[in-house]
Amino acid sequence: MQVLSGKDVAMSVLEHVRKEAVIFGEKYGRMPSIAVILVGEDPASQTYVAAKKKSALELGYGHKDYHLSVHATQQELLELVRELNADDDVDGILVQMPLPPHMDENCVIDTIDPAKDVDGFHPVNAGKILLGRSSLVSCTPKGVLRIMDHYGIRTAGKDVVIIGRSSIVGKPMAALLMQKGRDATVTVCHSCTLGLKEHVRRADIIIAAVGHPHMITADMVKSEAVVIDVGITRVTDLTKKKGWRLVGDVDYDNVAPRTSAITPVPGGVGPMTIAMLMENTLQAAQERKREQKGE
């Protein structure tokens, strides 16, 4: 059984991105840059935003930070997004989700310039993924593919079962895997799926993206399957200094021995998401400049 270390893959991705960003900087006189908007005080969102900032600064990227009050209006947020759309020195715009309940997330996503949509959530980018066209691809599914590529896990002709159909993980993951070149036979399961266990047990590759700790148990996994655990849930753990730890959707200790390869939590898909965000920011910067210069 091979442990698929997203942490190692992320490090090598970031090393490559760092070199490419320097080349970009030399060519265009500035580094790629990202603007991150946080609305409200959600502690998990604050942690994610801080991690994204750290990664951007480590790469020498330009970084703009906006923290709006939980009472900010949707109009204020949309105006800020439009300002950033018009700012030529900003290559990527990320609005940290979830937004407070009085805001319409879809409307905010729709307002971001698709060329700067480094999360890959805009309908134009999501649609291009479905059509198999080049686009900014949402970071988590992109990270899953990169882990599989790095470790030589082939998907052609394989039965892939994805559990979870969100717009940020399950759906784009399915769209990517069914494209020519990936050539997987994809099944997407969700909360209304009947016979989940039977579906999962058929899979050569299982991708769990639900957010229910340890729901994928050893009896659901075919011998020698590949298991990718996207789920991340904080559970109380008083043996830890911080009082909690992160667990995945997969019952790792019991499932791992049955698999040919598996991602751990933490250290699996998680680190890839930020690495892919940094790569998307570089890609957005390069594509915008090429477009402007007619290259």
Instruction: Out of 189, 206, 220, 250, name the contact with ligand NDP by CB under 6 A.
Output: 189
Contacts with ligand NDP by CB under 6 A: the residue count is 25
Q: How far apart (Å, rounded) are the C-alpha atoms in residues 249 and 269?
A: 12
Can residue 172 be called a binding residue for ligand NDP (CB under 6 A)? no
**Cβ-contact 6, 272 below 8 angstroms:** yes
**DSSP letter string, 97-161:** SSPPTTS-HHHHHHHS-GGG-TT--SHHHHHHHHHT---PPPHHHHHHHHHHHHTT---TT-EEE
**DSSP letter string, 168-236:** TTHHHHHHHHHSTTT--EEEEE-TT-SSHHHHHHT-SEEEE-S--TT-B-GGGS-TT-EEEE---EEEE
Can residue 187 be called a binding residue for ligand NDP (CB under 6 A)? no
Can residue 275 be called a binding residue for ligand NDP (CB under 6 A)? no
- Catalytic annotation present for 179: no
**How many C-beta neighbours within 10 Å does residue 26 have?**
9
Q: How far apart (Å, rounded) are the C-alpha atoms in residues 190 and 196?
A: 8
Burial class (CB in 10 A: 0-12, 13-18, 19+), 213: middle
Can residue 166 be called a binding residue for ligand NDP (CB under 6 A)? yes
- Catalytic annotation present for 242: no
CB of residue 170 to ligand NDP, shortest distance in Å: 6
Can residue 186 be called a binding residue for ligand NDP (CB under 6 A)? no
Can residue 191 be called a binding residue for ligand NDP (CB under 6 A)? yes
Can residue 199 be called a binding residue for ligand NDP (CB under 6 A)? no
* 166 annotated as ligand-binding: yes
Instruction: Out of 164, 221, 276, 282, name the contact with ligand NDP by CB under 6 A.
Output: 164
- Catalytic annotation present for 119: yes
* 45 annotated as ligand-binding: no
Q: How far apart (Å, rounded) are the C-alpha atoms in residues 228 and 25?
A: 35
Question: Among residues 90 and 206, whose Cβ is nearest to ligand NDP?
Answer: 206
**Cβ-contact 134, 128 below 8 angstroms:** yes
* 163 annotated as ligand-binding: no
Question: Among residues 59 and 173, whose Cβ is nearest to ligand NDP?
Answer: 173
Question: Among residues 118 and 189, whose Cβ is nearest to ligand NDP?
Answer: 189
Q: Which of 97, 140, 148 is nearest to 269 (CA)?
A: 140
Interaction pattern, residues 34-63, with ligand NDP; x per rule: CB under 6 A: ------------------------------
Interaction pattern, residues 206-225, with ligand NDP; x per rule: CB under 6 A: ---xxxx-------------
Sites of contact with ligand NDP (CB under 6 A): 140, 163-166, 168-170, 189-193, 196, 209-212, 230-233, 269-270, 273
Which residues are part of a known binding site for NADP(+)?
164-166, 232
Residues catalogued as catalytic? 52, 96, 119
Which residues are part of a known binding site?
164-166, 232
